[in-house]
Amino acid sequence: MRRLRNVKIVATLGPSSETYEMIRALHEAGADVFRLNMSHGTHDEIREKHRIIRQIEKDLQSPIAILADLQGPKLRVGVFANDAEELEEGASFRLDLDPVDGDATRVCLPHPEIFQALEPGARLLVNDGKIRLTVDKCGPDFADCTVTVGGTISNRKGVNVPDVVLPLAALSEKDRDDLEFACGLGVDWLALSFVQRPEDVEEARGLAQGRAAVLSKIEKPAAVERFEDILAASDGIMVARGDLGVELPVSAVPPIQKRLVRKCRFAAKPVIVATQMLESMIESPMPTRAEVSDVSNAIYEGADAIMLSAESAAGQYPIEAVSTMNAVAEEVESDPTYREIIEASRNAPRSSVADAIVAAAREIAETTEVAAICCFTESGTTALLTARERPRVPIIAMTSLRGTARRLALSWGTNCVMSSEVSRFKMAVVASARAARDLGYAQPDDQIVVTAGLPFNVPGTTNILRVAPCDERLIFNMENE
C-alpha cells in the first residue's frame, strides 16, 4: 500500500483496536507497523491479533511489520495497610524487604537488587516521579530516605532508580517466555525494555536466534550514557521519552532525542520516536497544537517512525489518531524546509563500496530525471543504507524474503515489493522496472536507478548500479538480449 510520505507510523493494538475491521482500517489510514504490548493481554489474545494482521497483509498484498514489545522487569513497592498514605516533604521514609504491610513511615520494596546498588544521595522516584525520595543511609535490606517531593503513595506503585546501574537483567522470566512465544508466532521486531548495557541486547539476540530483529528501548540514563555500544548491538532503537522524562529532567529529553535520532541515521538503523505524541486524542478527536508540533519535530529530525501508544490501543479515536499523524507527516514532508533540514544533516560515512553505491544512486536521482531507486536486497542492508541517504525519490526494496520485506516496513521511505529470486543483474533490472511502473512509482517514459549485489543472494554485497528505462518495449528487448 503506497504512502504519500516517508516516515512510518507505528500503532499499538489494544482493547480499542482488536477486530479485523478496526485493524484493517488503521492500516488503510496509515499504520505501517503494529505494536503488540506484551505487558497487556494473554498469549491467546496476542496470537489472535497476530493472526488478524497476517490476514490483512494477505488480503491487501501489503507487507506489514509486527513489533512485540517486551515488558521488562517492573520495580514496584509493596502494599499498605490502609492502601495509601500521604508523605510530607521533609519526612523520613524507609524502604525495606520486610513483607509486612506498609504505613506512613515505611513500605516493602521487594527488590534486593536495588538495595545492592544504592548509595547515599541516590534518588528513588515513585509513581512516575510524582513522589521523590533521597537516600540518606542504606544497607543490603533497607534504605532510609528523606521525602523531597511529597504526595500520595499507594499499593504497588512503580519505582525508578535513575542514578545507578541496577544489577538486573533486561529480560525477566516473563520476558523470556514472551520472547519465545513471539518468535514462535513470527513477529518481525522485538522491543527490549529496561536496557542499561549492550550485554542486555546481546542476551535477547541470542535468545531470538535471528527469528526477529531486536530493537532497544532507550528509557534509562544508563542507556543514554552507553548509547553507542547499545546501538552497535541493536537492529533498531526506540526513544521511549516517557520513562526518560521521569528519570532525567524533562528539559534534557528533547536534545537527547535529537542526538539519538542522528546517531541512528548515521548507523543506518531504524529509530522510533515514541510516547505521548498525540496523548489528548485518547479522549478527543482533535490533537493539541503542541502535540502536532511534537510529531512534526520528530519528522523534521529525520526519525524513521513515530508511534501511537494508548491513542490507538485504548483511546476513543484510534482511526482519527492514525489519520492525524498521517496528515501531519504528509504536510511536513511537503515543506521545502523539511528537505533543507534533512539534506543539511546528511553525514553518512563513505567507508565501503555499498556506501558509495547508495550515495551515487541518491546523487543520480537528484541530478537527473529518475523516478525511483530500486534496490534488490536479501538481508535488507542495501535498503537501510539507501534510506540513510534520505533521497527525494521513492525507495523500492525488491526482495524474495517476506521477513525482510516486513522488517523494512519500519524503515524511512522504504516501499517493499515481493519478487522472485533472480540470478542475473539483467533480470533484476527488468523486475525492478516492471514493479516501479506497475505499482505507480514510475511512468513508461521514466527511468529508475537499480542497485544490487553480485553474486546474488549473498548479504552485504551491494556493488553494482544501473540507470534503466521503464518503457515496456525497452524492457522486453533487455529481457531477450
Catalytic positions are 35, 76, 217, 275
Distance (Å) of CA 264 to CA 240, 258, 260, 302: 14, 10, 6, 10
Beta strands in 258-315, from DSSP E residues, in sequence order = 271-274, 305-308
Residue 114, SS3? helix
For residue 449, report the phi and psi dihedrals to the nearest 5 degrees.
-100, 135
- DSSP characters for 33-89? EEEEETTSS-HHHHHHHHHHHHHHHHHHT---EEEEE------B---BTTSEEEEPT
- For residue 309, the surrounding DSSP H or E stretch is none
Distance CA 279, CA 255 (A): 21
Nearest to 223 by CA among 304, 294, 166: 166
Query: Per the structure block, which three cell numbers stand in for 169?
Result: 537483567
Nearest to 33 by CA among 3, 60, 53: 53
- DSSP characters for 169-191? -S--HHHHHHHHHHHHHT-SEEE
Give strand pairing partners of 396: 374, 415
Nearest to 401 by CA among 387, 386, 381, 385: 381
